[in-house]
Amino acid sequence: MEGLFSQVAALGSSGVLLCGLILLWRRGVGAYITAFTWQSAVLAALTAAVGYFGADRQLYVVAVLLFLIKAVAIPRLLRRVAQRFTAGREPAAYVNTGTSLVVSGLLVLLAYAAARPLEAISDMPTRAGMPLAMGLLFVSLFVIISRRMAITQVIGFLMLENAIALLAVLATYGVPLIVEVGVFLDVLMGFLVMQIFLYDIHDTFSTTDVDVLKRLKH
């Protein structure tokens, strides 16, 4: 049973990370939103699985919240924004696709190195997925830095939150429920504010390419 639990956890974490990598490969905001939706869905399923195997009912609640907020509500809002603002294709990012993919591979290796102390002290069956969660964390940071469209940066930030949620689920079977609820509220509020700002940027600059945000220099 424990073998199956470990396998499921490792598979789920790989799935979550791979959805993140799609952000670096495909171009087009629709593909990004789909990747994020799938990632959140896999994460919710994994949370429910950890709740089942780890006999922790609170995780079911967390999984349902995760699914509703991050796989249903937020993608819907994102698609509405994307429809209004973008022509579909992302302008050339600051780092090209091939290099981005190779860099992300190296970042995952870095995550494996950084997560070595974590794996050493943990005896949870889910510990194999922790380096993958950290890998997704680094890859999301890279996406935020290297992309030019504001909406892609927002999606990168949402993936960063997913990575941390995954780390929490794998490392400690989730944080206490009240904290989870607080985190969800914060993420939702943060996203709503970012969405407002996307509208603001578009109204003020007639584009959402963050390259134009360079009036304020030094």
Partner 1 sequence: MADTLILAGLLAPWAVAAACAAALRHRQRLAARVTAAGSVVSLGAAMWLWANALGGRAATAGPGALFRVDGLSALVGVCVAAVAGLAMLPWPGTGQGDADPGRTRFFRIFASLFTLSMLVAVTINNVALMWVAIEATTIVSAVLIPLHRSKASVEASWKYILIGSVGIALAFAGTVLAYFDFVSLLGRRHDALNWTLLMEVAPALHADVLRLAFVFLLVGYGTKAGLAPMHTWLPDAHSEAPAPLSAMMSGVLLAVAQYAIIRWKAVVDAASGPAFTNQVLMALGLVSIAVGALSLVRQRSYKRLLAYSSVEHSGLICLGLTFGPAGVFASLLHLVNHAVAKSMSFLLAGRILARYRSADVGAVTGLVRTMPVTGPLFATGIIALMGLPPFGMFVSEFLLFRAGFAAGQIAATSAAMLLAGIGFIGLAGHLARMLHGARPDGVAAGEREWWPLAPLAVSLVVMVALGLFLPSGIAQLLGQVAEAFTP
Partner 2 sequence: MFDMAGIVVEVAQALLALALAPALVGFIRWMKARLQNRRGAPIWQPYAELRKLFRKDMVVSRHASWIFRVAPYVILGSTIVVSLLVPVLVTPLPFNAVADLFAVVYLLLLGTVFLALAGLDPGSAFGGMGSSREMTVAAISEPAIALAILSLALAAGSTNLGEIAARTIARPSSALSPGHILAFVALFIVMLAETGRLPVDNPATHLELTMIHEAMILEYSGPYLAMVEWASWLKLFVFLTLAGNLFVPWGLATSLTPAALAIAFAATVAKLVVLAAAVAVLETRVAKLRLFRVPELLAVSFVLGLLAVASSFSLR
| Beta carbons within 8 Å of 59's beta carbon, 6+ residues apart | 47, 48, 50, 51, 169, 173, 174
92 binds partner 2 (CB under 8 A): no
Partner in contact with 37, chosen from partner 1, partner 2, none, beta carbon below 5 to 8 Å by kind: none
Q: Which of 64, 73, 102, 196 binds partner 2 (CB under 8 A)?
A: 102
In the chain, the largest separation of any two C-alpha atoms, in whole Å, equals 58
- Report in angstroms how near the CB of residue 45 gets to partner 2 at its nearest: 16
Give whichever of 72 and 193 is closer to partner 1, judged by the CB atom: 193
32 binds partner 1 (CB under 8 A): no
Give whichever of 73 and 98 is closer to partner 1, judged by the CB atom: 73
- Report in angstroms how near the CB of residue 114 gets to partner 2 at its nearest: 12
> Are residues 35 and 115 in contact, defined by beta-carbon separation less than 8 angstroms?
no
Distances in Å between the Cα of 194 and the Cα atoms of 5, 30, 57, 157 are 37, 18, 33, 10
106 binds partner 1 (CB under 8 A): no
> Whose structure tokens read 């960063």?
160
Give whichever of 10 and 114 is closer to partner 1, judged by the CB atom: 114
Q: Which of 122, 149, 207, 211 binds partner 1 (CB under 8 A)?
A: 122
Both tokens assigned to 33: 């939103």
The stretches of the chain forming alpha helices (DSSP H) are: 2-25, 29-53, 58-66, 74-85, 97-114, 116-121, 130-146, 150-172, 177-205
Partner in contact with 33, chosen from partner 2, partner 1, none, beta carbon below 5 to 8 Å by kind: none
157 binds partner 1 (CB under 8 A): yes
Distance CA 11, CA 132 (A): 10
The size of the interface with partner 1 (CB under 8 A), counted in residues, is 47
95 binds partner 2 (CB under 8 A): no
Burial of 193 (0-12, 13-18, 19+ CB in 10 A): exposed
State which amino acid sits at residue 198.
Answer: L
119 binds partner 2 (CB under 8 A): yes
Give whichever of 104 and 140 is closer to partner 1, judged by the CB atom: 140
| Contacting residues toward partner 1, per CB under 8 A | 114, 117-118, 121-124, 137, 141, 144, 150, 153-154, 157, 160-161, 163-164, 167-168, 171-173, 175-176, 178-179, 182-183, 185-186, 189-190, 193-194, 196-197, 200-201, 204-205, 210, 213-216, 218
